[in-house]
Amino acid sequence: MKTALVTGGARGIGLGISQALLAENYSLALCGTRSKDDVAETLAQLQTMTSGKQKVAYYTCDIASPVDRQTLLNHIRQDFPYLNVLVNNAGVAPKERCDLLDLKEENYAWLMKINLDGPFFLTQKIARWMIETQKQIAAYQAVIINVSSISAASVSVNRGDYCISKAGVSMAAKLWAVRLAEYGIPVYEIRPGIIQTDMTAGVSEKYTKMIADGLVPEKRWGFPEDAGKVVAMLVRGDLPYATGQVITLDGGLNIPRL
């Protein structure tokens, strides 16, 4: 039984990814900042999707905390024999949208620790474990996926900290792709566009109108299950010889148009 760790896997894009991985017969290790009681209903729903042999475990973890990251790894290593997939999905929006000239250093640092530092150093720990497992199990296969955002390349001057963090996540995927290539561990980046989640709920009306007016060629919101389908493809190995590649999931939003 293969196992996947999805950070932020009990809500939004992460939940769509978790559901897709269950359909691919993966057991799940999920983490987030909410307590297990707060996500009990979601976990119960996920459990109904299992074959009976799959396991769904949840761990409360602040991905920005080095102590929490190590504790998370310790728990997963106790509960699962090995880990095949890491999906770095957890992230936050800026504490406040503001002009670059007014961005507070403390808010910038807070966001970077969650969106950039956390995924990078979690990948470091998980990659070491994956390499260790590979030396022990000949048939073992692993994949690492970073979930970034179109904000990695598209500028929003009222949330510059978020854009910088996602650009860093994008570069991290390339760095790890090169570093882990010798071990046969592919690393990919999924770059979502306008996805309908609780994070975008506050701007739902604004973007619904913009989409209707032609902002997105496919003329619809993206959904968490769209990201889930991409992850399913990647963990199946349907995109070989392509480590380090970016899969842009934006309905054509970033296609240059006249």
Total length of the chain: 258
Task: Classify residue 106: in a domain, yes or no.
Answer: yes
> In whole angstroms, how far apart are CA 177 and each of 21, 46, 53, 151?
21, 30, 32, 21
Cα–Cα distance between 22 and 54 in angstroms, integer?
Answer: 8
* pLDDT at residue 203, as a whole number: 83
Backbone angles phi, psi at 191, to 5 degrees: -115, 90
* pLDDT at residue 52, as a whole number: 85
**11, 198 contact by CB (below 8 A):** yes
Mean pLDDT by 10 residues, the chain (258 residues): 96 98 98 98 97 95 98 98 98 96 98 98 98 96 98 96 98 98 98 92 89 96 98 98 98 95
* pLDDT at residue 198, as a whole number: 83
State the CB neighbour count (10 A cutoff) for residue 252: 13
* pLDDT at residue 212, as a whole number: 95
| CATH number of the domain that residue 9 is part of | 3.40.50.720
> In whole angstroms, how far apart are CA 187 and each of 70, 102, 119, 244?
22, 36, 13, 5
* pLDDT at residue 107, as a whole number: 98
Cα–Cα distance between 13 and 175 in angstroms, integer?
Answer: 24
- Tokens 């699962």 belong to which residue? 80
Tally the domains of the chain.
1
Task: Classify residue 182: in a domain, yes or no.
Answer: yes
Task: Classify residue 168: in a domain, yes or no.
Answer: yes
- Tokens 């602040």 belong to which residue? 62
Q: In 3-state terms, what secondary structure has residue 29? A: strand
* pLDDT at residue 214, as a whole number: 96
Cα–Cα distance between 50 and 230 in angstroms, integer?
Answer: 20
Which of 146, 153, 150 has its CA nearest to residue 245? Answer: 146
* pTM for the full predicted model: 0.96
Task: Classify residue 258: in a domain, yes or no.
Answer: no
Task: Classify residue 223: in a domain, yes or no.
Answer: yes
Task: Classify residue 255: in a domain, yes or no.
Answer: no
Q: In what order do the strands lie in the sheet with 187-192?
A: 56-60, 27-32, 3-7, 85-88, 143-147, 187-192, 246-249
Q: In 3-state terms, what secondary structure has residue 186? A: coil
Range of the domain at 134: 3-249
Task: Classify residue 187: in a domain, yes or no.
Answer: yes
* pLDDT at residue 194, as a whole number: 96
Task: Classify residue 44: in a domain, yes or no.
Answer: yes
